[in-house]
Structure 1
């Protein structure tokens, strides 16, 4: 399986402190890559660099074997932090705004609404949506431009158990349709159920990266890494 994206010693420093340090990840095409780490580990910072929201202090990002350039963003869809939703608009109207900006046909709006199961939301305003519906609308917005790579930051945050199951099934369907997914989470069980490969970030460093191994006790591995990271910083 070929890589769609990899980084070499990617770092981000604020003043004199590293948020992310020397991270080299390797994301396989048509897979789900789960980025695990405690809150504040540097996951969001890394994803923001991959989407061009932050400029790295040092290191390189490669997309399909070539150095990352802004034109790569046409291949990337992202949902980082809160969904970028106009609360006073319906799901269709939210998508229409973006479709007009990007010159995307209305037929694509109907396609992504079907993918995220919001075709029946009708005239309900986004302000009346459940958290799960808002997350799905955020993903629909990220899917509008036919991305090859979808980046999701803590996508199950705030969801109830049913919303988590629905979102898990949706994310698992993407690789079959030619979309690679990178998602971050601090919830071990969710990543274990969704991802093909995982990377574990603690204190801004990548401590582990490998394919999911069902025989491996992920919780024990994670806690051992957190402990090692703490000792490393003493």
Structure 2
């Protein structure tokens, strides 16, 4: 196994009487794409929000680069969870300029991330006029501004047309070569199968399966065995 950039040990989140995340132990290898699969409401987004400090864990551990996670680690983590946080009256460049000022980052990062997500030629066009795929790419650009070691993406292809999905797939697949590890949450099996190196399957808040992608195996059949039959593999 390669070096782990992030690991959770018995991570648990309780809302009232409901265990939204129940003793989840993930192992995320450095410079890889990890696909976190599960039906809607399985606990995927809650797990990612715990990793980004958007929610506080009830119990368990989050280990980042070999030490207990703290808010200081957010300087090495980028995330796009829910809809991209855009000022729709501003251009792509202006949206990024606002973030560089807030975060105290060099303005040179703007052109670097615009180049990575292929939005350098959008000029003064307001982000309200962007296609959904362009908005998603701008959201990823914002998440990349701090030059993260770990990028967390929650359902990034939701609502995209086939061209937008393909563009985003190619973009995500390029990140490990740039030294960026990706955790990708999705319920679209075919997309994850083409992008991910490893997968984890969550159902009812529990991690039921975790392993390398096996392209000789039918992922849909595996997923249904795990989710529908409650099988732990």
TM-score tier, shorter chain, comes to: over 0.9
CA RMSD of aligned residues (A): 1.0
State the distance in 1 between where 2:228 and 2:167 align.
Answer: 33
Matches within 5 A, 1:56-205: 56-205=57-206
Map Cα deviations across residues 36-73 of structure 1 (whole Å, 9 max, x no partner). Answer: 00011000000000000000111000001100011000
Q: Which sections of structure 1, spanning at least 5 residues, go unmatched?
A: none
State the distance in 1 between where 2:118 and 2:222 align.
Answer: 36
What residue in structure 2 maps to residue 22 of structure 1? 23
SS of equivalent to 2:141: helix
What residue in structure 1 maps to residue 43 of structure 2? 42
1:148 Cα deviation after fit: 0.3
1:228 Cα deviation after fit: 2.4
State the distance in 2 between where 1:226 and 1:44 align.
Answer: 17
1:2 Cα deviation after fit: 0.6
1:129 Cα deviation after fit: 0.4
State the distance in 2 between where 1:217 and 1:202 align.
Answer: 19
Map Cα deviations across residues 163-218 of structure 1 (whole Å, 9 max, x no partner). Answer: 00000000000000000000100000000000000000011100000000011111
Which segments of structure 1 move beyond 3 Å, counting only runs of 4 or more? none
SS of equivalent to 2:228: helix
TM-score by length of 2: 0.98
SS of equivalent to 2:84: coil
